Structure formats: structure tokens, C-alpha cells
Structure 1
Amino acid sequence: MDPYNSGNPLGLGPRHRKPKRKYFAKLFILMALILLPLGGYIVYQYLTSTQQQADVKSVQSLQEVPTPNLDKARVEKWNGITKKVAYLTFEDGPTALTSDILKSLKEQEVKATFFLIGSNINEQPDVVRSMAKAGHYIGPHSETHDYDTLYKKKQYVPEMLRVQKQINQLTNHSPLLTRPPYGSTPGITKSIAKEIEQAKLRVWDWSIDSMDWYYKDSAKEVANTVISRAEGPVEIILLHEQPQTLQALPAIVAGLKKKGYQFSIYDEDFHVPYNFAKFSNL
């Protein structure tokens, strides 16, 4: 017997065939029969995966690719600091002072929201066009500004829709936001609120009254009133097109900026109900 083959686990060198070695051939055949289906399955999975990758690469149109539904959302905080927004809202225009107000806002790089009266629009259509071109929001403030007509005779919606049409003819936009003369309470009742909702209009009152109608001879008092009352993260400021308001405007803007406020116009895509009557549908 070859000494290199005797007791050698690695099987180095020549070895004699023995009858019992036939079992290895049978075992090999058995293993092959077991592994053949498994190998076929692995090959099948590989080919399928390759085809799927080729199918993905063959997509040519963006419409064939599913995209996530991304909804717009407000950014309320930035680096842990609560966002503070001030809305300057002017009533009763356009007037002889509107152009000067627009000039002052431009100098301070601030946009505002204007609520206009129908008869005044007819007198100064070019000013309304300039207002829209400058990027300010323009909304209806009625035709008559008369309490009994608007609320007791329930002409709020008809008047606002007519003013909306006037604005659209000059700006190509039909504004949804209205400012109720004298505020929403007690004039806007549940029945009027339902009419407003059906007309797809909205209502905004104010969180700060500048008192510019009271301090007729003091721009300083107007500015102090606005700045001292601005405390919340969102403030809607009532202003009128008056000389004292125009004079107070730079101080108001500077004071609110110092308190951390940014200025914005009303955004129809992010309407938040704010009315004294607390109608959630407005």
C-alpha cells in the first residue's frame, strides 16, 4: 500500500479503489438532484430582478413615475423662534392719499391689504391698477358703507359681489376676502353668514385698531397705539387712508420690525377665520 495514501485525510497521492467508494458516486448524484432545482430558482430570481431594473430604466414619461403628494404648509417657527406676522390693512380707499401710501410702502419694502369702496374705485381706476401691479392684496369694502343697507336690509353679499366684479375688471382677479364696515358684529347674523359662505366669500376683522380715526391730529399716538398693542404671533392692523396714518406709517413699520414682525398680504391659500362674530365658516 502506498504510504502516502494510508490514513491521509487529504487524499494526497495515489489510492486504491475499494468497493465502498461507490457510495460517493451515488451521494454525488443525490446532491446534484437536490441542488439542481435550487440553482434553477436562483437563476430565475436573478433574471427577474435584471428585467425589473431594465423596466425601470425604460420609463420615459414623468407621468409614469409616481410622485409623493406634497401639501403646502405654513412655517410657524424657524430655528426655534416663533414666526410673527403683521398684516397692514387699509380701509375706505382709494382716496387722494392712496398714491402717497403706496409710495411710502414701496420705500419701506412692505406690502399691504387694501379694502376698497365701489364708488371710489370708479373715481380712481388707475390707482387700483397700480396697487395690484405693486403686489398688494385688494378686497371689497362694500358700495355704500351704510350699516342699515348692508346688515338690516341684508345687502352685504350683493354689494361685495359687485365690488368684487369691479376689482376683477381692473386687475383680472376676483378677491375672496371682504372687510365688513363697522366690523362683523353685531351686523353679520347667522343668515348673512350663510349667504357669505354660499357666495364663497370670506370675512376678516382686525386684532389691532390703530385708533387713527380718533387721533386725528397725532401721528405719534397712532404709531404708539399699533406698536404697543402688537403682542401676538399674528396681528391684523386696522388703518384708514388718513393724513395722520400716512405720517405714522414709517414709525409703525420700524416699530413692528424692531419687535420681530414680518409683513405680509392676505393669502387666499392660507385663510384663517378671524371675525368678531366667530363664524368658523367665514
Structure 2
Amino acid sequence: MTSGSGAQYDTRGARARRIRSAAILLGLVGGFIAAVPAPAAADSVDCARVKCVALTFDDGPGPFTDRLLQTLRANNAEATFFLIGDKVAADPAAARRIVDAGMEIGNHTWSHPDLTAIPPQELPAQLSRATEVLERATGERPTLMRPPFGAVDDAVLAAAGSQGLAVVNWDVIPLDWENDTDIAATRAALTEQIRPNSVVLLHDTFASTVDLMAEFVPVLRANGYHLVTVSQMLGPRPPGSLYGTPP
């Protein structure tokens, strides 16, 4: 995957109209609420009783991650970042900023291979090296991992389980890497697919995705959604278990 070139910002009036339009469309999915009180802090949310969404961001940290963190914090939103080990090794401070912003981190392997296509003896190192560098950079040891491309088989689950990692894929896939700067297509896919307790696959390595989050996160909040981490929404996951579906 390569980073997007970034989306052009509309005029203030056009942007406001787009946000209003997206809010109306999203209301068809989750029940439009014209005016709602600000949701409670994520750590106090009971996702069995209120609408939650877990936004997840793969392949970072990258050059647009800090801007995304600003959007999330400005909207009292939390998310889960599945980080690539060699990128964290190159910029450990970026990973630390993600944790300092109150976000959850997960293991996205050391170098982003298809884990079902590499020799089985290479699986443990892809996970352990990423976990080690994440822990050194942030002081937190991940308990979740996402296989690149969502590719998973019994060998991947066994390797993850042996290292105390639960595997988390997704429910919502808006194809932001294919749409890239066509943020209207990504927005439409999100609007169509999101339901309460969805795990959403996105990428903070695309400027266009980060641009869209500046619009869409407030829309989710206005429609009564609480934006939480995977662990806050799903609870503890057994090592070696799989959430979500392969691609």
C-alpha cells in the first residue's frame, strides 16, 4: 500500500453541507438524532447499552498519524492502532504519542507480510519482534494483533496464541486504500456499513482517510455513537482467538 496524495478541502459552506448530508444518511443506519448530549468518556461506556464503534487504523505510524490524533482527541474519541514493527523502530516517538493520546495499540507484524504465505518458522519472529519494539517504545505490551491483509489460518492463530495475542479483523471495510482521494466513496461505504458495535478497518497512512475522519468522526458523535477501542467494546479476547472475518 502507498500513501494517498491527500484530499482537497472544500469551502467552509460546502464542507458543512457535506457533513449535514452524511449525518442524515448515517441516521438511516443508526437512528438519526438531531441533538444529543455529548457521550460519556469512552472508559465509562457500556457498549451493551449504548451505540459503540471501534475505529481501527492499520499500517502506521505514518506522517498523518499526529493529525488524526488531534481529530480524535478534539472529539473525545478513542481508537485502536495496529502498528508495523519496523515503522515503530524507525520512529518510536510516534508510537509513544499514540499511547499518550489515550489510544490502544496492536501488533501488525514486523514487516507486513502475508502470514499465510511465509514459511511457518518465520511466523513467531514476525509477531515477537513487533511486540518487543512496541513495548520498548510505549511501555505497553499489545494483547491484540491484526494479520496483514486479514490473512489468517490455523498456523497464524496458533502463533498468535502462543504469544498471548488475540487476532482481530473487522466488520466494516470501506476500502479507503482503493478509494484513496475519492473520499466520497469511502464516506458512502462507511455510511452504508456501520452498525452499533462495528469494528472498522481504516488506514492512517492515507492523508485522504485522515481528512475524512475530520468530517466523519463528528458525524458519528452527533448520531449518538461512542468511539471506543477494540478492547473497550469487545472486552478481553482469548489468545489465539479470531474476531471478524477474513477478507
Same fold (TM over 0.5): yes
- Counterpart CA distance in 2 for 1:197 and 1:129 is 25
Sequence identity percentage: 25
Structure 1 position 229 matched with structure 2 position 196: no
- Counterpart CA distance in 1 for 2:86 and 2:174 is 25
- Counterpart CA distance in 2 for 1:171 and 1:132 is 7
Residue 180 of structure 2: SS of its match in structure 1? coil
- Counterpart CA distance in 2 for 1:165 and 1:246 is 28
Kept after mapping to 2: 8 A contact 1:139/1:177: yes
- Counterpart CA distance in 1 for 2:156 and 2:173 is 24
- Counterpart CA distance in 2 for 1:239 and 1:192 is 22
- Counterpart CA distance in 1 for 2:225 and 2:57 is 18
Aligned to 2:126: 159
Structure 1 position 197 matched with structure 2 position 169: no
- Counterpart CA distance in 2 for 1:263 and 1:192 is 29
Structure 1 position 145 matched with structure 2 position 145: no
Kept after mapping to 2: 8 A contact 1:210/1:225: yes
Q: Which amino acid aligns with 2:64?
A: L
- TM-score for the superposition, normalised by structure 2: 0.72
Q: Which amino acid aligns with 1:252?
A: F
Distance 1:157 1:86, change over 3 A: farther
- Counterpart CA distance in 2 for 1:115 and 1:274 is 15
Work out which of the two has the higher radius of gyration on C-alpha atoms and give 1 or 2: 1
Aligned to 1:86: 53
**Cα deviation, residue 250, structure 1:** 2.3
Aligned to 1:120: 87
| Alignment counterpart, residue 248 of structure 1, candidates 212, 220, 230 | 212
Q: Which amino acid aligns with 1:255?
A: V
Give aligned pairs, total.
195
Kept after mapping to 1: 8 A contact 2:58/2:82: yes
Structure 1 position 99 matched with structure 2 position 62: no
RMSD of Structure 2 on Structure 1 (CA): 2.2
Kept after mapping to 2: 8 A contact 1:223/1:251: no
| Runs of at least 5 residues in structure 2 that lack an aligned partner in the other structure | 1-44
**Cα deviation, residue 150, structure 1:** 5.4
Structure 1 position 238 matched with structure 2 position 201: yes
**Cα deviation, residue 214, structure 1:** 1.5
**Cα deviation, residue 75, structure 1:** 5.8
Aligned to 1:274: 243
| Alignment counterpart, residue 217 of structure 1, candidates 176, 181, 184 | 181
| Alignment counterpart, residue 76 of structure 1, candidates 48, 51, 55 | 48
- Counterpart CA distance in 2 for 1:213 and 1:131 is 21
Bigger shift: residues 191-200 or 100-109 = 191-200
| Alignment counterpart, residue 142 of structure 2, candidates 146, 170, 175 | 175
| Runs of at least 5 residues in structure 1 that lack an aligned partner in the other structure | 1-72, 78-82, 278-282
Residue 198 of structure 2: SS of its match in structure 1? strand
Kept after mapping to 2: 8 A contact 1:226/1:252: no
Aligned to 1:66: none
Q: Which consecutive segments of 4 or more residues in structure 1 shift more than 4 A?
A: none
- TM-score for the superposition, normalised by structure 1: 0.64
